[in-house]
Amino acid sequence: MNKIKALREKMMQLEIDGMIIENPVNIFYLTGIQAEGTLIINDKENLFITDGRYIEDLNNSLTIDDEIIALSVHTLEKEEYFKMFENCIKVGFEENYITYAEYTNIVRKYRIKEATETDGLIEKMREIKNQNEIVYIEKACNITDNCFLHIIDFIKPGISEKDIAIEIQKFIIENGGDGLAFDTIVASGENSSKPHVIPTNRIIQKGDAIILDFGAKYNGYCADMTRTVFVGEISDETKALYDFVLKVQTRAFNKYKNNADCNEIATSVQNELYVHNFDLIHALGHGVGLEIHEKPILSTKSNYTLREDMVVTNEPGIYIPRKIWN
């Protein structure tokens, strides 16, 4: 089904008469439009209000089947905004996206009678991927997998964390990715216990552990891969730890099933880590799609249920400050 139609059905169930959608990711998801603007769903039609940079392109690409009317912000009079929701009482907005200032502005601008939070309505639709979306994510994952194979060949003593990050970016854009799904993390040696965001000039040395966290984007859809690799020989203690985390991950993976409770899975991982005096310092996993972090969250504080056609990560980790990797 057309995604806007599916949204309209959900709005009807919630007795919401209209909706203002500003989040460009949600707009792309619903319409395929990649332009800055506002999507208006009212009792009669679907409007997309945008500016001079996009309007010509939209008028050429939108067809009657899209059921979207593109309007230029420059030609709209004040009164035309009032008319958009004149037959609507409850108008939904994206309380998790629009700012407090935008909220006060839209209520005034559209003369909204009853602005209502929608509790991530569109984000919830996005949790369940359709077959096209899954194909795009698989393609993003393939590019990311190939990049990993390339990068473990590329890593050697003498190059820096930054060199590795640049090579990852180059590989992804040269091999069909739109670009990076998120800023690459390359954390080596003493940096590997503090997986911070910016690759440094630190030079890779023999015996280093390196945490790689990266992913490609394909047709707007993200991949997310985390791997710990070692340069040369490692101690038995380190190997045992690596194998332990891998085992924990594998056991968790077997629990990723339709109707499984996310909290239960994360708690079982946390308990396995507790037994060895470790802790789960971040979520076990999260949904992936048009954004790198989507619902559901798999954590000991979350309350989601896994459903068929969700796409989620499984990334337990142990971080030991200054203990093992030097």
198 interacts with a copy of itself by CB under 8 A = yes
Enter the tokens of residue 240: 């045992």
Quick one: which H or E segment has residue 213? strand 209-214
Enter the tokens of residue 214: 């990266």
Nearer to a copy of itself, 123 or 133 (CB): 123
| Burial degree of 299 (CB within 10 A; 0-12, 13-18, 19+) | buried
Enter the tokens of residue 31: 């319409």
117 interacts with a copy of itself by CB under 8 A = yes
Give the nearest distance from C-beta 182 to a copy of itself in angstroms: 12
323 interacts with a copy of itself by CB under 8 A = no
Using the rule CB under 8 A, which residue among 43, 45, 52, 250 binds a copy of itself? 52
95-114: which residues touch a copy of itself (CB under 8 A)? 95-104
The label of the residue with tokens 């990560």 reads 313
Strand partners, 188: 210
159 Rama class: left (phi>0) / alpha (psi -120 to 50) / beta: beta
138 interacts with a copy of itself by CB under 8 A = no
74 interacts with a copy of itself by CB under 8 A = yes
Nearer to a copy of itself, 173 or 260 (CB): 173
Q: Whole-angstrom Cα distance, residue 247 to residue 162?
A: 30
14 interacts with a copy of itself by CB under 8 A = no
Site map for a copy of itself, 156-175, x if CB under 8 A? ----------x--xx--xx-
192 interacts with a copy of itself by CB under 8 A = no
- Output the CA angle 132-136-141, nearest 5 degrees: 145
Helix axes 236-253, 262-275, angle to 10 degrees: 160
Nearer to a copy of itself, 104 or 326 (CB): 104
89 interacts with a copy of itself by CB under 8 A = no
189 Rama class: left (phi>0) / alpha (psi -120 to 50) / beta: left
Three-state secondary structure call for residue 46: strand
Stretch that binds a copy of itself, among 54-62, 239-247, 262-270, 284-292 (CB under 8 A): 54-62
Q: Whole-angstrom Cα distance, residue 319 to residue 192?
A: 8
Nearer to a copy of itself, 66 or 95 (CB): 95
Enter the tokens of residue 226: 């985390």
Using the rule CB under 8 A, which residue among 7, 11, 35, 248 binds a copy of itself? 35
182 interacts with a copy of itself by CB under 8 A = no
- Which residues would be at the binding site for a copy of itself (CB under 8 A)? 34-35, 51-54, 56-57, 74, 93, 95-104, 117, 166, 169-170, 173-174, 179, 183, 193-198, 281-282, 319, 321
